Structure formats: C-alpha cells, structure tokens
Amino acid sequence: MITIDFRRIAVIVHDTFMVMLAWLLAIMVRVGFQMESLDANAWQIIPLILAAQAPVFWYYGLYRSMWRFASLPDLTNIAKSSIIGTLAITAILFLFNRLNFIPRTALILYPLFLGFLLGTPRLLYRLWKEHSLRYVLDSRSPKRTLIIGAGRAGEMLVRDILHDGEYLLVGLVDDNPKLHGANIHGVPILHGGIERLAALVRKSNIQRLIIAMPSASDAQMQRIVEYCEQTQVPFLTLPKLSESPKTSISELHKVSLDDLLGREKVKLDLGIIEDRLKGKCVLISGGGGSIGAELCRQIASLKPEKLIILERSEFNLYQIEQSLQKVSPETPLHIYLGDVGDAVRVKQILSIHQPDVIFHAAAYKHVPLLQHQIRETVKNNILGTQTFAQLAIQYQVKSFVLISTDKAVNPTNIMGASKRIAELFCQALNERSKTRFITVRFGNVLDSAGSVVPLFRSQIANGGPVTVTHPEITRYFMTIPEACQLILQAGAMGYGGEIFVLDMGSPIKIRYLAEQLIRLSGKIPDQDIQIVYTGLRAGEKLHEELFHAEEEQMSRTRHSKIMLASSRSADWNYLIEHLNLLKEATEQHDEQVIRPLLKSLVPEFCEEM
C-alpha cells in the first residue's frame, strides 16, 4: 500500500512558492517595484530557477526536516542551500543566455530574500507550537537524529519522540529494502541500508544516532556499532529485551560492552529452582567474589530460610553484607570469615545451620599468578574442596554444587588442573554418599574481579597502552547475572554426578574487547590509545575449550543453554592415595613433588610455558 506524505508535499509546495517569490522580489527591487518594468525573461526563466534550486534543497534535507523542531541547524541548512542554489542558478543562466537581461543585483538579493522567506515561516510555526523563543535559539535545541531500525521498537520510539520533542527526527534506516521510501508517523524510512549510514549522516547533517533494535543478536549489534563508529556521531541504544521490556526515550543509554556482548534473555524454570531453594538453608562459599556475590543476591530474592556466606576476604564479606542489607533486608543472613579448608571452622558453621544446599564458589582463579603459587593453589582449590565436600556429607547436606571452569578442560595451567581434580573428587564422592554432587562448568564472565575488562578500563583511564597477550587470543564470555542464573538452574536440575556445561555462545577475540572499550571511551584504537601485544603468559591458552574429547557426546537437557557432558570416572583408591600425597607435599612445602602428582591425576595436563 502506497502512503502519501501530505506533510512533505506541503513543504515542497511552500518552498517552491518561496523560490519564485524570492526571485521576483529580487528583480522588483532592482526595477523599483514597477510591475510594468518586469522583463518577460524574469517570468520565463523561473522554471530554470526551480530546476536549479530544488536539488539543492533536497541535498540539504529541507524537505525532510520537521517545522515543529526548527532550530539553528535548520537555519544553517537554509543559508547553505540559498547560497549554493544561487551559484547553481548563476551557472545555469550563464549557459542559457550568458546572463543577458539578468540584473546582477538580483543575484545578490535573491539568496537573502530566499533565506528569509524559508526560515521565517519555520521559526514562526515552531514558536506557535512551543510558545517560546528559547527552544529555537538554545544551543541545546533538539539534535538532528536518525533511528536505526524500523521495526516495532523503532515505531514505538518514533511515536514517543514526536510526542516528547527532545530529538529532531530526520528519518529511519533499515536493512529491509521493502521499507525504503515508506514513513512511520510521517518520519521517512530513508533509501539505503545500514551500510550506507555514514553517507546518510553526512547528507542529512545528522547529529545523533539511536539504535532501536533491542532484539538484535551479538553479531548484528557489533555490525551496527561498527557502522555507527564510522560516522563519528554520538549514538545511543535501547536496552536489550532481556534487560527491559520498555521502548521509550527514558530507556536510551550509551552503548556499553554488555550491549555488544549481551546475550539472549535466560528463561528459567523458576518452579524447580524455588522447589530446591525457597524456604531452604543455603550456604555459599566464596560469597564475596564476583560469582559468589551475585549468587547471594539472586538466592536472597528466592526467599530462602536463611543465607549463610563463608568468605576469607574481610573486605569482600563486608561489601556483600552491605549490599544484601539494602536489596534484601528481610533475608536472614549469617556471615562468616573463614577458609573452606579450615575443618574446625567449617564444622562449626555446618553444625549450627545444617544447610540444605551448598554452592562452592570459593577458589583461586588468576591463571598467570597461580603458575608460581602451586602450593597455595592445591591447598585451596583441591584440598579445600576435599575438606569442604567431605564435611558436607558428614552433616547431611542434600546438594553440593561445585562451580568449575572451562580451564579444567585439557588444562595447560595449575589453576585448570586444580579445578579438574576438584571435579573428579566431587564426582567420585557422589557415588559414595547421599549428598548430590553437581558440577557446573563455564568460561569467563564480564567484569569479574581480576578479569581483563577492569584491567583494560584502568589502562584506558591512564592513557594507555592497553596490553593484549596475543592478537588472535579468544575467550568465551557471559555476563555475571546470566552465569549465576544458569548455575541455579543447573543446580536445581541435577540428580548428582553430572557435569553441566553452560552454553557460552561464540568465543570473542580479546583484541575486539580492547578495541571496543577504547571506542566506547570516546577514543580511537592505535591512535589515541595504543594496543600493545605482550605475548602469551605462562599457562595461557590461545583458545579455551568447553569439553574434553571424551566428553564430546553431549546430552541435551530440559534447558536450551545447559548441556550435560559425558562424565569420566576416576579410580577412588588411586584418587585418595594421590590426594593424601598432595596433602603431605603441601604440608612439607615440596612443590617439586606437587607438580608430577597433578599430572598423574590429570593425564591430559600439559603446561604451556
């Protein structure tokens, strides 16, 4: 169905009439307003005047602007089109009749009259609408804006903006060619897809871009942002549907890293999660860390009987206590300073509270640092887990959820090997107890403590350089809230002995993260902020893996983002014997013995130095 834009037709008719009036006024001023003195040429060349002026108007967007929001940028475009139009008219008339019978004074007066005749009605119309000259002359007047996305979100945003008047909508851009030339509430959908964004911005003097595609995938969002960055014009976006169902001006914000790497909304089976946690006593080890703290916040919203937090960092424990008292003051909260490997402390806590569920998030995780802290890594990640898990059985904990990592797959570092042994031990315990031991394995999380994103932000704030180990290094990423939601879902789904692997999507190049963080800070990579490649660090892989070769026969679960790995069992006697040797070696601080013991327990462990 073809829609007729009567508003634009009215503007074209008005501007055409003003061109003729400006030309005749310029001639009449020259002849002293004597109508009988007007040469016939003055009337005959009007079609040429219109033919020269109309394309200039179209180029500067006079037919696309909305009079209600007329402002200084519109007046500037009118001035430009009047001057350029006069030059075009002069050239055409010179070719037509060598400017014979054309008063030179008229060519000087014409752009002045035209600018006045085009600008005054626009300003008067806006004054009538706004009842204030302040909006017209204010430097903060509405910015000429282009919306990217002509779908449902774009339509709702257009309607909201037209009602509010905060932005001057010039048009919309969409990749669907069937929409080109149509309009939404009188705002045109411009010809050309998003790949022509830079040209459209220059042509229409755009001052602001708005991305109205809340359902865009990671790849689509990254592509759109790249085109926006090429325009060098500020741009905003709507939240993803997973963050907010609203589509309004109030929801607009600057594009963040989460917008580029944000993932589809996690759909949880809240029934089964609440069944496992609501009204239950839940203990979280490492509850002050990035994952542990978010688990605390999410579990508190599920109304547990009480929430117990075990954390060895005094500052982290204080922070999560303050946070929970603000967001969930009604949750019975018990906080403890302590180490999961301290059997006396753990026994005291378990005997007092008798928890139903434990989420074991406490672990050392910084790969390069732990390469040179092998004893402490084993003591905390392996022996601490052993102590904690065995006491969980002793105190009849129903479920014990071990939070693991993709670095436990074919480990090339001490941290990954230690987490793989923790996985093996928990799986083995599951076969020998009534406690359900469940393992959840996933990759990196954005903005976690000690991760690459806070480091990059600090380096950018200090003026660079941003250090990346290798130009091709990749990692899997998900947001902290998403990881914790899936941990809760997997923990509720498990019957014991499973290794659940979270769907991490596609791996992301660390170089891309660095470049985007630099751009989002308003800088240009390798111009304003340098990216320096430092080489892979000890124990660091170029690409992480989520499954071992023997786990590749993945099973689907009831949740689309949670997969079940084919578990590999370990000989119990062999495992216990080597754990005892590890304990003895840590007590004697004999790291020369510890390393080969790790390799005996995890044959695929191959350190990259």
Which positions are annotated as active-site residues?
Answer: 407
Identify the bridge partners of residue 437 per DSSP, sorted by sequence position.
400
Cα 573-579-580 angle, rounded to 5 deg: 90
Residue 222 CB partners (closer than 8 Å, separation 6+): 260
Give 423's contacts (C-beta < 8 A, 6+ positions apart). Answer: 402, 404, 408, 439, 441, 499
Check if the beta carbon of residue 437 is closer than 8 Å to that of residue 422.
Answer: no
Q: How far apart are CA 343 and CA 341, in angstroms?
A: 6
Mark 561-600 as b/e (b = at least 16 C-beta within 10 Å). Answer: bbbbbebeebeeeebeebbebbbebbeeeeeeebbebbee
Please tell me the distance from the alpha carbon of residue 450 to that of residue 365, in angstroms, as a whole number: 9
Q: In a 3-state reduction of DSSP, which class is residue 552?
A: coil
Alpha helix locations (H) across 98-151?
104-130, 134-137
Q: How far apart are CA 266 and CA 242, in angstroms?
A: 8
Residue 364 burial (C-beta neighbours within 10 Å; 0-12, 13-18, 19+): buried
Q: Which amino acid is at 555?
A: S
| ∠ Cα 63 67 69 (to 5°) | 120
Q: Cis ω on the peptide bond leading into residue 234 (within 30° of 0)?
A: no
Residue 404 burial by Cβ neighbours in a 10 Å radius (0-12, 13-18, 19+)? buried
**Number of C-beta neighbours around residue 416 at 10 A:** 27
